[in-house]
Amino acid sequence: MSDFLVTGTSGFIGSRVSEILLQEGHLVIGIDNLNNSYDNRLKKWRLKQLKEFSNFIYEEIDIYDHKILDKFVSKTKRSFEAIINLAAHAGVRKSVENPRIYYETNVLGTLNLLELCKKFEIGKFVLASSSSIYGESDIIPFSEENDTDIFLSPYAASKKSAEDLCKTYNYLFGTDISILRFFTVYGPAGRPDMSIFRFIKWIIEGDPIQIYGDGQQKRDFTFVDDIAKGTINSLRRVGLETFNLGSDNPIKLLDVISIIEQETGMKANLEFKDKFESDVFATWANIKKAKEILNWVPKTSFMDGIKKVVAWHLENKEFVRQIKI
Protein backbone atom coordinates (compact mmCIF):
# COMPACT_ATOMS: atom_id res chain seq x y z
CA MET A 1 0.00 0.00 0.00
CA SER A 2 1.25 3.48 -0.90
CA ASP A 3 0.82 7.09 0.18
CA PHE A 4 -0.58 9.57 -2.35
CA LEU A 5 -0.93 13.32 -2.34
CA VAL A 6 -4.09 14.25 -4.26
CA THR A 7 -4.79 17.90 -4.97
CA GLY A 8 -8.33 19.10 -5.68
CA THR A 9 -9.60 16.23 -3.54
CA SER A 10 -13.00 17.89 -2.99
CA GLY A 11 -13.42 18.44 -6.70
CA PHE A 12 -15.49 16.33 -9.03
CA ILE A 13 -12.69 14.16 -10.43
CA GLY A 14 -10.34 14.47 -7.44
CA SER A 15 -12.95 13.08 -5.04
CA ARG A 16 -13.57 10.02 -7.23
CA VAL A 17 -9.85 9.34 -7.72
CA SER A 18 -9.32 9.71 -3.95
CA GLU A 19 -12.23 7.39 -3.22
CA ILE A 20 -10.94 4.61 -5.46
CA LEU A 21 -7.42 4.85 -3.98
CA LEU A 22 -8.92 4.73 -0.47
CA GLN A 23 -11.06 1.71 -1.39
CA GLU A 24 -7.88 0.00 -2.59
CA GLY A 25 -6.42 0.58 0.89
CA HIS A 26 -3.90 3.32 0.09
CA LEU A 27 -3.34 6.33 2.29
CA VAL A 28 -4.58 9.52 0.64
CA ILE A 29 -3.61 12.95 1.80
CA GLY A 30 -6.08 15.18 0.03
CA ILE A 31 -5.71 18.92 -0.25
CA ASP A 32 -8.09 21.53 -1.59
CA ASN A 33 -8.76 25.22 -0.98
CA LEU A 34 -12.55 24.84 -1.22
CA ASN A 35 -12.79 27.98 -3.31
CA ASN A 36 -16.01 29.40 -4.73
CA SER A 37 -15.42 28.49 -8.38
CA TYR A 38 -18.92 26.99 -8.03
CA ASP A 39 -21.30 26.38 -5.13
CA ASN A 40 -18.93 24.83 -2.65
CA ARG A 41 -21.66 22.94 -0.78
CA LEU A 42 -21.06 20.35 -3.47
CA LYS A 43 -17.33 20.24 -2.68
CA LYS A 44 -18.15 19.85 1.03
CA TRP A 45 -20.65 17.09 0.20
CA ARG A 46 -17.96 15.12 -1.65
CA LEU A 47 -15.44 15.75 1.12
CA LYS A 48 -17.88 14.39 3.70
CA GLN A 49 -17.98 11.05 1.83
CA LEU A 50 -14.17 10.88 1.81
CA LYS A 51 -13.92 11.64 5.51
CA GLU A 52 -15.73 8.33 6.19
CA PHE A 53 -12.46 6.57 5.31
CA SER A 54 -9.95 6.15 8.15
CA ASN A 55 -7.07 6.18 5.62
CA PHE A 56 -7.97 9.69 4.41
CA ILE A 57 -6.28 12.82 5.71
CA TYR A 58 -7.55 16.22 4.62
CA GLU A 59 -5.92 19.61 4.77
CA GLU A 60 -7.26 22.88 3.42
CA ILE A 61 -4.34 24.31 1.46
CA ASP A 62 -3.97 26.55 -1.56
CA ILE A 63 -1.44 25.03 -3.99
CA TYR A 64 -0.52 28.58 -5.04
CA ASP A 65 0.97 29.13 -1.57
CA HIS A 66 4.29 27.36 -1.95
CA LYS A 67 5.53 28.09 1.57
CA ILE A 68 2.54 26.51 3.31
CA LEU A 69 2.54 23.62 0.85
CA ASP A 70 6.20 22.95 1.48
CA LYS A 71 5.82 23.14 5.26
CA PHE A 72 2.82 20.82 5.16
CA VAL A 73 4.51 18.10 3.08
CA SER A 74 7.59 18.29 5.25
CA LYS A 75 5.43 17.92 8.41
CA THR A 76 3.66 14.80 7.09
CA LYS A 77 7.01 12.94 7.05
CA ARG A 78 5.51 10.71 4.36
CA SER A 79 7.29 9.22 1.45
CA PHE A 80 4.73 9.81 -1.30
CA GLU A 81 4.46 7.41 -4.20
CA ALA A 82 3.03 10.20 -6.38
CA ILE A 83 1.41 13.60 -6.51
CA ILE A 84 -1.82 13.57 -8.50
CA ASN A 85 -2.64 17.15 -9.44
CA LEU A 86 -6.38 17.50 -9.98
CA ALA A 87 -6.67 20.98 -8.46
CA ALA A 88 -7.37 23.67 -11.01
CA HIS A 89 -9.55 26.50 -11.99
CA ALA A 90 -11.50 24.68 -14.64
CA GLY A 91 -13.88 25.87 -17.32
CA VAL A 92 -13.38 27.80 -20.50
CA ARG A 93 -15.88 30.64 -20.19
CA LYS A 94 -14.98 31.93 -16.71
CA SER A 95 -11.30 31.98 -17.64
CA VAL A 96 -11.99 34.77 -20.12
CA GLU A 97 -13.46 36.89 -17.31
CA ASN A 98 -10.85 36.10 -14.68
CA PRO A 99 -7.64 34.78 -16.25
CA ARG A 100 -5.33 35.62 -13.34
CA ILE A 101 -6.66 33.01 -10.91
CA TYR A 102 -6.37 30.42 -13.69
CA TYR A 103 -2.68 31.14 -14.02
CA GLU A 104 -2.11 31.25 -10.25
CA THR A 105 -3.53 27.78 -9.71
CA ASN A 106 -3.05 26.00 -13.02
CA VAL A 107 0.45 27.21 -13.80
CA LEU A 108 2.11 28.43 -10.59
CA GLY A 109 0.28 25.81 -8.53
CA THR A 110 1.60 23.11 -10.86
CA LEU A 111 5.09 24.61 -10.61
CA ASN A 112 4.89 24.49 -6.79
CA LEU A 113 3.92 20.81 -6.90
CA LEU A 114 6.71 19.95 -9.33
CA GLU A 115 9.09 21.67 -6.93
CA LEU A 116 7.76 19.41 -4.16
CA CYS A 117 8.57 16.38 -6.33
CA LYS A 118 12.10 17.64 -6.71
CA LYS A 119 12.65 18.60 -3.08
CA PHE A 120 11.04 15.56 -1.45
CA GLU A 121 12.16 13.09 -4.13
CA ILE A 122 8.63 12.15 -5.13
CA GLY A 123 9.20 10.14 -8.29
CA LYS A 124 5.81 10.38 -9.99
CA PHE A 125 3.63 13.32 -11.01
CA VAL A 126 0.25 13.21 -12.74
CA LEU A 127 -1.15 16.36 -14.33
CA ALA A 128 -4.78 16.81 -15.30
CA SER A 129 -4.77 18.64 -18.60
CA SER A 130 -7.66 19.15 -20.97
CA SER A 131 -9.04 18.47 -24.44
CA SER A 132 -9.53 22.24 -24.71
CA ILE A 133 -5.87 22.62 -25.65
CA TYR A 134 -6.71 21.14 -29.08
CA GLY A 135 -8.93 24.13 -29.89
CA GLU A 136 -10.76 23.69 -33.20
CA SER A 137 -8.19 21.16 -34.40
CA ASP A 138 -9.14 19.92 -37.87
CA ILE A 139 -7.51 16.52 -37.45
CA ILE A 140 -10.20 14.47 -35.78
CA PRO A 141 -10.39 12.49 -33.61
CA PHE A 142 -7.82 14.51 -31.66
CA SER A 143 -4.63 12.59 -31.10
CA GLU A 144 -1.79 13.48 -28.76
CA GLU A 145 0.42 14.49 -31.71
CA ASN A 146 -2.05 17.12 -32.98
CA ASP A 147 -0.97 20.74 -32.99
CA THR A 148 -1.81 22.37 -29.65
CA ASP A 149 -0.61 25.87 -30.48
CA ILE A 150 -4.06 27.36 -31.05
CA PHE A 151 -5.49 28.69 -27.80
CA LEU A 152 -9.09 29.77 -27.61
CA SER A 153 -9.11 30.64 -23.91
CA PRO A 154 -6.82 31.51 -20.99
CA TYR A 155 -7.89 28.15 -19.51
CA ALA A 156 -6.50 26.25 -22.51
CA ALA A 157 -3.36 28.40 -22.48
CA SER A 158 -2.83 27.74 -18.76
CA LYS A 159 -3.09 23.98 -19.31
CA LYS A 160 -0.60 24.14 -22.14
CA SER A 161 1.82 26.07 -19.88
CA ALA A 162 1.41 23.46 -17.14
CA GLU A 163 2.16 20.71 -19.67
CA ASP A 164 5.30 22.57 -20.75
CA LEU A 165 6.47 22.87 -17.14
CA CYS A 166 6.04 19.12 -16.73
CA LYS A 167 8.26 18.51 -19.74
CA THR A 168 10.93 20.81 -18.28
CA TYR A 169 10.90 19.04 -14.90
CA ASN A 170 11.10 15.67 -16.57
CA TYR A 171 14.06 16.85 -18.62
CA LEU A 172 15.93 18.55 -15.77
CA PHE A 173 15.13 16.31 -12.81
CA GLY A 174 13.87 13.07 -14.31
CA THR A 175 10.44 13.24 -12.62
CA ASP A 176 8.25 10.56 -14.19
CA ILE A 177 5.16 12.33 -15.52
CA SER A 178 1.80 11.37 -17.00
CA ILE A 179 -0.07 14.26 -18.60
CA LEU A 180 -3.75 13.41 -18.99
CA ARG A 181 -5.98 15.29 -21.38
CA PHE A 182 -9.51 14.71 -20.08
CA PHE A 183 -12.52 15.04 -22.39
CA THR A 184 -15.80 16.47 -20.96
CA VAL A 185 -16.27 14.48 -17.77
CA TYR A 186 -19.73 13.81 -16.31
CA GLY A 187 -21.04 11.72 -13.44
CA PRO A 188 -22.87 11.78 -10.10
CA ALA A 189 -22.12 14.87 -7.96
CA GLY A 190 -20.69 16.52 -11.07
CA ARG A 191 -19.80 20.15 -11.64
CA PRO A 192 -22.77 22.55 -11.58
CA ASP A 193 -21.06 24.77 -14.15
CA MET A 194 -21.13 21.94 -16.70
CA SER A 195 -23.91 21.03 -19.11
CA ILE A 196 -25.05 17.64 -17.84
CA PHE A 197 -25.49 18.74 -14.20
CA ARG A 198 -27.39 21.84 -15.36
CA PHE A 199 -29.55 20.07 -17.94
CA ILE A 200 -30.69 17.41 -15.45
CA LYS A 201 -31.34 19.96 -12.69
CA TRP A 202 -33.28 22.25 -15.03
CA ILE A 203 -35.37 19.41 -16.45
CA ILE A 204 -36.20 17.93 -13.02
CA GLU A 205 -37.03 21.36 -11.58
CA GLY A 206 -39.07 22.37 -14.63
CA ASP A 207 -36.84 25.33 -15.56
CA PRO A 208 -35.87 26.28 -19.11
CA ILE A 209 -32.66 24.72 -20.42
CA GLN A 210 -30.16 27.31 -21.57
CA ILE A 211 -28.10 26.28 -24.58
CA TYR A 212 -25.25 28.34 -25.96
CA GLY A 213 -25.40 28.05 -29.74
CA ASP A 214 -27.75 25.78 -31.68
CA GLY A 215 -27.18 22.59 -29.67
CA GLN A 216 -25.54 20.83 -32.63
CA GLN A 217 -22.12 20.98 -30.96
CA LYS A 218 -20.66 17.63 -29.96
CA ARG A 219 -18.71 16.59 -26.89
CA ASP A 220 -16.84 13.38 -26.17
CA PHE A 221 -18.61 12.91 -22.82
CA THR A 222 -16.65 10.56 -20.54
CA PHE A 223 -17.93 8.99 -17.35
CA VAL A 224 -16.10 10.01 -14.17
CA ASP A 225 -15.35 6.44 -13.03
CA ASP A 226 -13.59 5.75 -16.33
CA ILE A 227 -11.57 8.96 -15.96
CA ALA A 228 -10.66 8.08 -12.37
CA LYS A 229 -9.54 4.59 -13.37
CA GLY A 230 -7.48 5.99 -16.25
CA THR A 231 -5.85 8.40 -13.82
CA ILE A 232 -4.94 5.55 -11.49
CA ASN A 233 -3.63 3.44 -14.39
CA SER A 234 -1.41 6.37 -15.35
CA LEU A 235 0.46 6.09 -12.03
CA ARG A 236 2.75 3.52 -13.60
CA ARG A 237 6.21 4.66 -14.68
CA VAL A 238 6.14 5.94 -18.25
CA GLY A 239 9.00 8.45 -18.37
CA LEU A 240 7.08 11.37 -19.84
CA GLU A 241 3.88 10.70 -21.76
CA THR A 242 0.68 12.52 -22.70
CA PHE A 243 -2.57 10.58 -22.90
CA ASN A 244 -6.06 11.43 -24.07
CA LEU A 245 -8.71 10.08 -21.74
CA GLY A 246 -12.02 10.31 -23.58
CA SER A 247 -14.85 8.05 -24.64
CA ASP A 248 -14.21 8.12 -28.41
CA ASN A 249 -17.96 8.63 -28.86
CA PRO A 250 -18.96 12.28 -29.37
CA ILE A 251 -22.60 13.16 -28.71
CA LYS A 252 -24.61 16.17 -29.84
CA LEU A 253 -25.97 18.38 -27.03
CA LEU A 254 -29.53 18.13 -28.38
CA ASP A 255 -29.23 14.32 -28.26
CA VAL A 256 -27.99 14.53 -24.67
CA ILE A 257 -31.15 16.44 -23.81
CA SER A 258 -33.37 13.85 -25.51
CA ILE A 259 -31.65 11.06 -23.55
CA ILE A 260 -32.19 12.94 -20.27
CA GLU A 261 -35.85 13.51 -21.20
CA GLN A 262 -36.19 9.81 -21.82
CA GLU A 263 -34.51 8.89 -18.52
CA THR A 264 -36.46 11.37 -16.37
CA GLY A 265 -39.74 11.03 -18.27
CA MET A 266 -39.90 14.84 -18.30
CA LYS A 267 -39.96 17.33 -21.14
CA ALA A 268 -37.24 19.96 -21.61
CA ASN A 269 -38.06 23.54 -22.42
CA LEU A 270 -35.21 24.85 -24.59
CA GLU A 271 -33.90 28.41 -24.54
CA PHE A 272 -31.16 29.16 -27.09
CA LYS A 273 -28.46 31.74 -26.36
CA ASP A 274 -25.58 33.11 -28.44
CA LYS A 275 -22.67 30.75 -29.00
CA PHE A 276 -19.72 31.53 -26.78
CA GLU A 277 -16.57 32.51 -28.69
CA SER A 278 -14.21 30.17 -26.86
CA ASP A 279 -16.46 27.12 -27.22
CA VAL A 280 -15.30 24.63 -29.83
CA PHE A 281 -17.75 22.91 -32.17
CA ALA A 282 -16.70 19.36 -31.39
CA THR A 283 -14.33 17.30 -29.30
CA TRP A 284 -13.40 13.71 -30.01
CA ALA A 285 -10.58 11.71 -28.44
CA ASN A 286 -8.32 9.26 -30.15
CA ILE A 287 -7.60 6.91 -27.23
CA LYS A 288 -5.31 4.40 -28.91
CA LYS A 289 -2.29 5.45 -26.87
CA ALA A 290 -4.04 5.10 -23.49
CA LYS A 291 -5.28 1.68 -24.59
CA GLU A 292 -1.81 0.52 -25.57
CA ILE A 293 0.31 1.96 -22.78
CA LEU A 294 -2.12 2.27 -19.86
CA ASN A 295 -4.25 -0.73 -20.76
CA TRP A 296 -7.23 1.59 -20.38
CA VAL A 297 -10.58 1.60 -22.13
CA PRO A 298 -13.67 3.53 -21.06
CA LYS A 299 -16.25 1.02 -19.89
CA THR A 300 -19.39 3.09 -19.30
CA SER A 301 -21.78 3.67 -22.19
CA PHE A 302 -23.39 7.10 -22.36
CA MET A 303 -26.84 5.64 -21.63
CA ASP A 304 -25.59 3.81 -18.51
CA GLY A 305 -23.67 6.87 -17.35
CA ILE A 306 -26.68 9.15 -17.72
CA LYS A 307 -28.86 6.67 -15.83
CA LYS A 308 -26.43 6.85 -12.89
CA VAL A 309 -26.35 10.66 -12.93
CA VAL A 310 -30.13 10.99 -13.13
CA ALA A 311 -30.47 8.50 -10.25
CA TRP A 312 -28.06 10.59 -8.16
CA HIS A 313 -30.01 13.77 -8.90
CA LEU A 314 -33.28 12.12 -7.91
CA GLU A 315 -31.80 10.65 -4.70
CA ASN A 316 -30.40 14.06 -3.75
CA LYS A 317 -33.23 16.18 -5.13
CA GLU A 318 -33.55 18.57 -2.18
CA PHE A 319 -29.79 19.07 -1.93
CA VAL A 320 -29.45 19.68 -5.69
CA ARG A 321 -32.36 22.15 -5.57
CA GLN A 322 -30.31 24.33 -3.19
CA ILE A 323 -27.18 24.28 -5.40
CA LYS A 324 -26.69 27.58 -7.19
CA ILE A 325 -25.76 27.41 -10.84
Ligand X SMILES: NC(=O)c1ccc[n+]([C@@H]2O[C@H](COP(=O)([O-])OP(=O)(O)OC[C@H]3O[C@@H](n4cnc5c(N)ncnc54)[C@H](O)[C@@H]3O)[C@@H](O)[C@H]2O)c1
From 112, 117, 107, select the one nearest 67 (Cα to Cα).
112
Is 102 or 202 the residue whose CB approaches ligand X more closely? 102
Interface ranges with ligand X (CB under 6 A): 7-8, 10-14, 31-35, 37, 43, 62-64, 86-90, 105, 109, 128, 130, 182, 184-185, 191
**Which residue is catalytic, options 64, 102, 155, 186?**
155
Assess contact for 92 and 134: CB atoms under 8 A.
Answer: no
Q: Quick check: helix, strand or coil at residue 181?
A: strand
Q: Where are the alpha helices (DSSP H) in the chain?
A: 12-23, 41-50, 66-76, 92-97, 99-102, 110-119, 154-173, 195-205, 224-233, 253-264, 288-294, 302-315, 317-322
Minimum distance of ligand X from residue 63's CB (angstroms): 4
The nearer residue to ligand X, 99 or 266, going by C-beta atoms, is 99
Which helix (H) or strand (E) covers residue 42, if one does? helix 41-50
Total number of residues shown for the chain:
325
- Residue 291 Cβ vs ligand X, minimum distance, rounded to whole Å: 19
Q: Which is nearer to ligand X, 233 or 266 (CB)?
A: 233
Q: How far is the CB of 280 from ligand X (least distance, A)?
A: 13
Closer by beta carbon to ligand X, 107 or else 260: 107
What is the rounded CA–CA span in Å between residue 44 and residue 40?
6
| Nearest-angstrom CA–CA distance, 298 and 287 | 9
Which residue, judged by CB position, is nearest to ligand X in the bound state?
Answer: 11
The nearest distance, CB 266 to ligand X, in angstroms, is: 25
169 catalytic? Reply is no
Name the residues annotated as catalytic. 155
